[in-house]
Amino acid sequence: MAKLGKRTRAAREAVAGKENLSVEEAVALVKGNATSKFDETIEIAMNLGVDTRHADQMVRGVVGLPNGTGKAMRVAVFARGPKADEAKEAGADIVGAEDLMETIQGGTIEFDRCIATPDMMPIVGRLGKVLGPRNLMPNPKVGTVTMDVKAAVEAAKGGEVQFKAEKGGVVHAGVGKASFDEAKLVENVRAFVSAVAKAKPSGAKGTYMKKIALSSTMGPGVTLDVAEASGE
């Protein structure tokens, strides 16, 4: 077994025995342990009481974090004509139609969010097996299939976060950077938890939010008091 470095050992000791913390306590602890040379991402993971094999228990949605994510979001847009121009003016990094489809089919995916106008979906639909597993497939439910390309691009660039329950009912996302003020991280965490709470599906039975954990890219995780974090 590899020997733990001093920094890793100290970080683990700092969180040992600390569970079910308030959002403020968890943020302070995780931020304090983020001592890498790069600006670590603060990540949230939520275990939900849902079975994603059933359509009526799928959890997905989008939330605009009040203080952004701290990540530079690269946005691709499938559009033609005036809508393509609108996307470029709004700050989209990649804009195209069949040419963009061919680029993606060739294995080049240089974007973090994909947006499409409705008329482009027959083309985008051919990329389901490529974009779907990466959670990049445009979807009207989260506002990425839309005629309002300008608003969608600006939202993505402004710190909007999409979420989707994966196998086992786990939802995870980055909610800021270690360099953020604690108060801003707290706001982002609460906004994310609130959005997931509002996305509770009709088929969910029993306890919906089972566990919430916060960590940094290189640091150990801590658990939050679910009731406190969700405002229950």
Q: What is the pLDDT of residues 126-160, one digit of tens each?
A: 999 999 988 899 999 889 999 999 999 999 998 89
Q: Give one DSSP letter per residue of 57-102, joined into a string.
A: G--EEEEE-TT--SS---EEEE--HHHHHHHHHHT-SEEESHHHHH
Contact 87, 115 (CB under 8 A): yes
- The parent domain of residue 117 ranges over 75-157
Q: What is the pTM of this model?
A: 0.80
Above 90 in pLDDT, residue 2? no
pLDDT value at residue 10: 54
198 is a domain residue: yes
Lowest mean pLDDT among 4-18, 64-78, 111-125, 199-213: 4-18
Domain termination residue (choose one: 124, 157, 190):
157
Q: What is the pLDDT of residues 66-90, one digit of tens each?
A: 999 998 899 999 999 999 999 999 9
Identify whether residues 148 and 168 lie together within a single domain.
no
- Total structural domains in the chain? 2
Domain with residue 114: its CATH number is 3.40.50.790
Could you give the C-alpha distances from 139 to 128, 151, 152, 154, 172, in angstroms and in order?
Answer: 11, 15, 12, 17, 19
Q: What is the pLDDT of residues 34-54, one digit of tens each?
A: 989 999 999 999 999 999 999
Confidence band (pLDDT; 50, 70, 90) for 18? low
Nearest alpha carbon to residue 51 among 198, 172, 218, 208: 208
Domain termination residue (choose one: 107, 133, 157):
157
DSSP collapsed to 3 states, 202-231: CCCCCCCEEEEEEEECCCCCEEECHHHHHC
Above 60 in pLDDT, residue 11? no
Domain with residue 211: its CATH number is 3.30.190.20
130 is a domain residue: yes
